[in-house]
Amino acid sequence: MNGLAKRYFRVPRREIGYLRFILESYDGLAFVSTLDSAEGLVEIVYPASRRQDADGLIDALVDELGMTEQAAPDANANPA
């Protein structure tokens, strides 16, 4: 299996830095991009080959940080 998997979440704004620190401390497991800091929207990207490890950690962080999974944002949407 190859490629990248992506998941999107709304995270309390004050927790974005902590989320990034925790995920990126697992060397090469996952990376976080902030898509909208005002809304707390982040994208988490990880190698599909490491899905089991990444999903386990992400699921634990969902509970800890109160993250809410979101659908992928529409790249064709025009901002208001």
CB distance 44 to 6 below 8 Å:
yes
Name the token pair of 49: 């080959």
Question: How far is the CA of 44 from the CAs of 64, 78, 80, in angstroms?
Answer: 16, 23, 25
Residue 76 lies in a domain: no
7-62 pLDDT, tens digit per residue, is 999 999 999 999 999 998 998 899 999 999 999 999 999 999 999 999 999 999 99
Domain CATH for 61: 3.30.70.1400
Residue 24 lies in a domain: yes
3-state SS class at 4: strand
Name the token pair of 11: 């995270």
Residue 75 lies in a domain: no
Residue 36 lies in a domain: yes
Output the pTM of the full model.
0.85
Residue 49 lies in a domain: yes
3-state SS class at 27: coil
The residue range of the domain holding 25 is 4-70
Number of domains in the chain: 1
